[in-house]
Amino acid sequence: HVQLVESGGGSVQAGGSLRLSCAASTYTYNMGWFRQAPGKEREGVAAISTGGGATVYADSVKGRFTISRDNAKNTVYLQMNSLKPEDTAMYFCAASVLGASWDKRRVADFAYWGRGTQVTVS
């Protein structure tokens, strides 16, 4: 069983930056960052392959967000630049299991979830 803990959220002005971190309790396979705003469905923001060599992004964050990972530290990051008010949401990291699909950023493809960290952009 994988435990995930997110950190790095906070309040920032539009145009600012934040870096989210997700610490895993053990080695993980493909990982993703998701977000959920009040009254909206959870959406996949970015995902990264086990080795870190492949990444995918939602169109709404391409060119502004960067997902990366440090497998030696069992940690995944989400660097968020040029933040907009519409980026305001609870951000969750998630881990898939071996062999599961990951590059379509679907909630159902990820088995383990953190509790989230709030990002507020004003």
Segment 50-75, tens digit of pLDDT: 999 999 999 999 999 999 999 999 99
> Which pLDDT score, from 0 to 100, does residue 100 have?
84
| SS3 call for 6 | strand
Confidence of residue 98 (pLDDT cuts 50, 70, 90): confident
How far CA 25 is from CA of 3, 22, 33, 81, 94, in Å, comes to: 5, 10, 17, 27, 12
In the predicted model, what is the mean pLDDT of residues 102-121?
A: 94
DSSP string, 65-94: EEEEEETTTTEEEEEE-S--GGG-EEEEEE
Q: Does 88 or 1 have the greater pLDDT score?
A: 88
- Read off the pLDDT of each residue in 39-49 and give the average, rounded to a whole number: 97
Please state, in angstroms and rounded to a whole number, the distance separating the CA atoms of residues 72 and 27.
Answer: 9
pLDDT of residue 95: 97
